[in-house]
């Protein structure tokens, strides 16, 4: 795949003073994005060249009393909303999680912009630690925002909901939420920055759905916006997304330099989560390129970073990757111990899909030892976890796991059968139309 390259800001500014630049430059003649950016720079330059811009004689030296009053009133209103929101959200969160949505729907006191902002903030703080709670918080925020006359709040709530759904593997639901966030933000007067943040989530979803060209275009657009705003931390996060997209295309060798550049140039611009994600992705790239010692070292570092920043969901995922890597290298005793612990942790954290998939990975290892009874139990456990997850393709997932379970009960399950089921379940989120084709079993 040839990745389109665009001129950066410095190159366009250098072209700015030339005549007939579009005709002279083949790239500008064929690239509407760069041509549009160049036109914007030319317009700005023309305005700045006007004497009126630099004429200061009409500028007020004092503040307009009306403007100051409006700003003070606005600040006071926000402060009052946030103060009342603290008590309301505290009152809400002491209730059982299942009652949060019905409570905000039935009690008009919660229809408060400050409640939306605070629920989204708390969801952002907790979705990597307790995904079910984070999802319930932001679902309540979405409901409240829908009853307020603020597109900014609607976009804020839907964007966070999309992030939570993506983190739990619900790509279809996440894409719907992203679309609603974009619709809301596009109705705001100034939305570029927020749309760029939505774009990163959209790029991740596209990548998970193997829509790689769209993912690249969306991610690059967000990178350009973050650079224009001078937000290095968001640029760095967008580079993490770029590397992730390359990895989804199995271009692991190409992703390694991107991730190494992140570590070298943007270490201080990444928050704890992004640092852990970059290191974890680097470990995966090393594993896929058969650099096993480097992979294990980076996975260990990633787990430490996530644990240091109390991102328990990702730390558990990383430990699962280590267990799978150890199994692939033939270290079965240690791999099984780690896998069992990860399954327990996934269940405790409410990560149902990961718990189910962990059981299938462990089943593959156990079938090398003909441990049919434990595989049967693992499949039973996985069926329960898939049902709890509410994934859209629940019938297909259950068909695959049940097939493996019945094969284990008849003592005809093999490593190849478990691997076939595992591969199918890995592909199902991005290929919902895929039907399960049962592999042949050995004769009884």
Q: How far apart are CA 274 and CA 240, in angstroms?
A: 8
**Per-residue confidence at 430, pLDDT binned at 50, 70, 90?**
confident
What DSSP string runs through 18-54?
SSSHHHH-HHHHH-HHHHHHHHHHHHHHHHHTSGGGG
Has residue 238 got a pLDDT over 70?
yes
Q: How far apart are CA 62 and CA 53, in angstroms?
A: 20
Question: Which 8-state DSSP code applies to residue 435?
Answer: P
The residue-averaged pLDDT of 98-105 equals: 95
Model pLDDT for residues 131-149, shown as the tens digit of each residue? 889 999 999 999 999 999 8
Structure tokens at 282: 């680097």
Percent of the chain with pLDDT over 90: 54
Question: Which 8-state DSSP code applies to residue 395?
Answer: H
Model pLDDT for residues 24-59, shown as the tens digit of each residue? 555 555 565 566 566 655 655 554 544 444 444 444
Q: How far apart are CA 444 and CA 230, in angstroms?
A: 66
- pLDDT value, residue 58: 47
Question: Which 8-state DSSP code applies to residue 270?
Answer: S
pTM score over 0.85: no
User: Are 243 and 281 a contacting pair, CB within 8 Å?
Assistant: yes
**Per-residue confidence at 12, pLDDT binned at 50, 70, 90?**
low
- pLDDT value, residue 273: 84
Has residue 77 got a pLDDT over 70?
no
Q: How far apart are CA 233 and CA 236, in angstroms?
A: 5
Burial of 176 (0-12, 13-18, 19+ CB in 10 A): middle
Q: How far apart are CA 298 and CA 312, in angstroms?
A: 17
Has residue 3 got a pLDDT over 80?
no
Q: How far apart are CA 65 and CA 76, in angstroms?
A: 16
């Amino acid at each position: 795949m040839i990745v389109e390259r665009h001129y950066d800001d410095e190159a366009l500014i250098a072209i700015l003073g030339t005549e007939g630049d579009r005709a002279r430059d083949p790239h500008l003649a064929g690239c509407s994005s760069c041509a549009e950016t160049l036109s914007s720079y030319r317009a700005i330059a023309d305005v700045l060249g006007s004497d009126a811009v630099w004429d200061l004689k009409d500028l007020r030296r004092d503040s307009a009393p009306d403007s100051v009053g409006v700003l003070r009133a606005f600040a006071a209103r926000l402060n009052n909303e946030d103060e009342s929101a603290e008590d309301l959200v505290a009152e809400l969160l002491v209730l059982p999680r299942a009652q949060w949505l019905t409570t905000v729907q039935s009690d008009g006191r919660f229809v408060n912009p400050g409640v939306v902002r605070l629920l989204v903030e708390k969801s952002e703080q907790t979705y990597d630690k307790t995904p079910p709670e984070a999802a319930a918080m932001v679902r309540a925020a979405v409901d409240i925002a829908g009853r307020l006359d603020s597109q900014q709040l609607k976009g804020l709530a839907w964007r966070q909901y999309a992030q939570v759904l993506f983190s739990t593997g619900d790509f279809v639901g996440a894409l719907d939420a992203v679309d609603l966030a974009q619709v809301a933000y596009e109705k705001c007067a100034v939305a570029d920055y927020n749309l760029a943040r939505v774009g990163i989530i959209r790029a991740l979803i596209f990548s998970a759905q193997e829509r790689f060209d769209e993912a690249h275009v969306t991610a690059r657009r967000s990178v350009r916006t973050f650079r224009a705003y001078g937000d290095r931390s968001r640029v760095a996060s967008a580079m993490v997304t770029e590397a992730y997209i390359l990895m989804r295309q199995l271009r692991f060798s190409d992703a390694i330099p991107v991730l190494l550049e992140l570590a070298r140039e943007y270490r201080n611009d990444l928050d704890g989560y992004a640092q852990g994600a970059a290191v974890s992705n680097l470990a995966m790239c090393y594993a896929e390129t058969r650099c096993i010692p480097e992979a294990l070292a980076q996975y260990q570092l990633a787990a430490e970073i996530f644990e240091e920043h109390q991102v328990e969901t990702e730390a558990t995922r990383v430990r699962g990757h280590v267990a799978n890597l150890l199994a692939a290298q033939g270290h079965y005793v240690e791999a099984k111990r780690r896998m069992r612990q990860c399954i327990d942790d996934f269940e405790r954290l409410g990560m149902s899909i990961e718990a189910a998939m962990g059981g299938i990975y462990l089943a593959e290892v156990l079938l090398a030892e003909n441990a049919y009874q434990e595989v049967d139990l693992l499949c039973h456990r996985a069926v329960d976890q898939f049902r709890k997850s509410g994934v859209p393709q629940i019938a297909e997932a259950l068909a695959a796991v049940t097939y493996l379970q019945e094969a284990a009960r008849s003592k005809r399950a093999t490593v190849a059968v478990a691997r076939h089921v595992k591969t199918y379940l890995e592909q199902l989120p991005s290929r919902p139309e895929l039907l399960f084709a049962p592999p042949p079993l050995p004769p009884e």
